[in-house]
Structure 1
């Protein structure tokens, strides 16, 4: 991989001859095309590809939240890279026919040192998902103005509904309105707190599963 500022033809994107031009974190880069392998993938390689595909498909729709709240950049690893690595190692279950499934209770939508969500509870109320928690403002790093972020995943429809923010820490209750076309779906719910400035987040909590009213 090589970097350049003003090449003879200037920065470019895409494939040109034996090289690819692209931009990464504000830098113009070039790299050679990978050589096609004629060796069949091993079972371990196929397994890793299946795991990676499952995780990326699941996480990509919430990349914005993960990029904002899943820790701090570590050298060449972005928060989304860190989230991908965590879920590959900690949040997969073997499925049928060499497939892999997401272990929902182990999913994290954020990681950090902020005080987290205590005692999240879900209930269906008047066509809405009612989410409650214990107001722990003033304990440790917790502030009343911290923002509650909620992510709802409707499993049958493979669709996320994101609430960023949904409420403040001191509210202790919020009603989540899910689009009507998702009614009847089983929903997995995760919640977290972030500071009002967005520079610090908590380790998220799995709030449980509920059927969308």
Structure 2
């Protein structure tokens, strides 16, 4: 049984025959009833499944970061789903054996039109990652820096969504003791104070924590 929410011309919620109706991001959506497949997937289909699983796992520790970084990606496409859509298209590189791996240098953890500083750098100071960037440019004084350190070996992430005001030109991200001995992939992005706008994230490279 299905329920017509807005009359005969509106969307519906529930199952009618082989069709399911529901709402997704404020839009009425229908899809076919899923059926168990017995046919072996093609090589391309299997590659797409592997890529989907990789991206799902890679993004999972970043949920809160992505909710801010991809907040304005599209009216009906935001956060984790938007990040998965973008990175599935742009962040994979193909190996010689035709398998795919995520290239962290190609991945974005924030997406937007806010301009990045002309120069950005990082350094390790004890158990802290120190970020520095140039302060010139057109931005609001209350814009903020978002910083992220991703530990691929453990699948953990350390981040701060409001690490410092952009006009200060510097931010610090303390790393927990259990991260010692691991390599981390480091990103920075900038966001308006009310999260109405974001920059693309900037990949700073890999640090080996001691």
Q: TM-score, normalised by structure 1?
A: 0.80
Alignment partner, residue 80 of structure 1: 80
CA–CA separation in structure 1 for the residues paired with 2:163 and 2:201: 14
The answer to whether the 8 Å contact 1:71/1:112 transfers is no
Q: Where does structure 1 lack aligned partners over 5 or more consecutive residues?
A: 6-10, 13-17
CA-CA distance at 1:85 after TM superposition: 2.0
Q: 1:37 to 1:153 in 2, by over 3 A?
A: same
CA–CA separation in structure 2 for the residues paired with 1:32 and 1:108: 32
CA-CA distance at 1:3 after TM superposition: 5.7
Q: 1:171 to 1:75 in 2, by over 3 A?
A: closer
What SS class does the counterpart of residue 148 from structure 1 fall into? strand
The answer to whether the 8 Å contact 2:117/2:133 transfers is yes
Alignment partner, residue 61 of structure 1: 61
Q: How many residues align?
A: 202
1:188 matched to 2:190? The reply is no
The answer to whether the 8 Å contact 2:127/2:176 transfers is no
Give per-residue Cα distances to partners, 1:71-101, cap 9 Å, x unaligned.
6353643343332122112111235876532
Q: TM-score, normalised by structure 2?
A: 0.81
Q: 1:99 to 1:160 in 2, by over 3 A?
A: farther
What SS class does the counterpart of residue 35 from structure 1 fall into? coil
Q: Where does structure 2 lack aligned partners over 5 or more consecutive residues?
A: 6-12
Segment of structure 1 superposing worse, 169-178 or 45-54: 169-178
Q: Which runs of 4+ in 1 moved over 6 A?
A: 18-23, 26-32
1:100 matched to 2:100? The reply is yes
Alignment partner, residue 144 of structure 1: 141
